[in-house]
Structure 1
Amino acid sequence: MPNVPRKPRKQVAALPVMVDPKGQVRVLLITSRETQRFIIPKGWPMKGRKDHHAAAIEAQQEAGIIGRVHKQPVGGCNYWKRRSDHFDYCRVKVFMLEFRYQLPDWRERGQRRGAWLPVDDAADLVDDPGLIDIIRTLPKRLATKHKRLALKPATMS
């Protein structure tokens, strides 16, 4: 990899979560379009939008997910974004998004696969150590802050 730039490019991401009918916390992972790696919905900040709103829009565009996005990030991570002729070093702010429902159609449907996974399985499938930590600490964070998530079963098409 090239030298780390002094100022990473900023990105925002949504961490879609739900509690299944058995009380188990699940995380939505989607595949990237090019490499098919498991990731969470993410993208660039949007002019005129707060970061948490931009993260919710990414979840809608990339996975058709609608929900309640938290205003404060649950953490952040760094990664190298592959471009056609170079890599960008990015710092991602991750915002939890409580699943409400999935749209019947969305912008990137057919370009990505998605799965609702138990926390440990999701953490095992992502590459970024910072994102792994965010996912693994999610149940404790939810219990500590007494957060209640909608008991809504989820499926990805």
Structure 2
Amino acid sequence: MMLMFRRPARMQCAALCYRLQKKTGKPEMLVITSRDTGRWVIPKGWPMEGKSSAQAAEREAYEEAGVKGVLSETMAGAYMYEKGMNGGLKVPCRVQVYPLLVTNMLKNFPERGSRRLEWVSFEEAAARVAEPGLKALIEQFGHELVQLERAGTSLSA
């Protein structure tokens, strides 16, 4: 007999890392591969004691992708997904996503060499990620950046 139960969602924090292309000024975002499956994701992790959710997301961006920049304490949004754990257990997670305007990419960082990093358009990023909620969040944030750009609002740090 298999027992079925639903755990409450666990929270994670993520950074939506973006920048403006040097030549065109167009916004693009950073996608990275997960270490276990190689699927395209954004930097994310568990909350950290003594840090706000946004600060934890900023730390994950540094550890996983080697990026630093201007962090927004205001969430871009949130999405749900099921995280595969050891032993095949899947845990529902609610991911709070915070924008990070990247101003610096470091050559050395904790997870260097264990992930691929690519700067792509928001459309391409949305096409690469698997989670429907993250796709929608990326599309919405990218659309909002384009609207700000068209309105003449400066997106640079």
TM-score, structure 2 as length reference: 0.88
CA RMSD of aligned residues (A): 1.8
The letter of the residue matching 2:95 is V
| 2:148 pairs with 1:141 | no
- Secondary structure, in 3 states, of the residue corresponding to 1:139? helix
Greater mean alpha carbon deviation, residues 19-28 or residues 90-99: 19-28
Which stretch shifts more, 48-57 or 130-139?
Answer: 130-139
Change (3 A) 1:36 1:3: farther
1:51 matched to which residue of 2?
53
Please tell me whether residue 17 in structure 1 is matched to residue 24 in structure 2. no
Aligned to 1:116: 119
Equivalent residue, structure 2, for 1:27? 29
Structure 2 residues not aligned, in runs of 5+: none
Q: CA deviation at 1:62?
A: 0.2
Compute the TM-score of the two structures, normalised by the length of structure 1: 0.88
- For structure 1, list consecutive stretches of 5 or more residues without a partner in the other structure: 151-157
CA 1:129–1:4 in structure 2 vs 1: closer, same or farther (change >3 Å)? farther
Q: Residue type of the partner of 1:102?
A: M
The yes-or-no answer on 1:91 pairing with 2:89 is no
**1:84 Cα offset (Å):** 1.5
**Taking every aligned residue pair, what percent have the same amino acid on both sides?**
36
In terms of Rg, which structure is larger? 2
* 2:7–2:92 contact (8 Å) kept in structure 1: no
Confirm whether residue 130 of structure 1 aligns to residue 133 of structure 2. yes
User: Is the contact between residue 47 and residue 53 of structure 2 (CA under 8 Å) also seen in structure 1?
Assistant: yes
Change (3 A) 1:118 1:50: same
CA contact (8 A) 1:4 1:89 kept: no
Point out the structure with the larger helix share: 2
Aligned to 1:63: 65
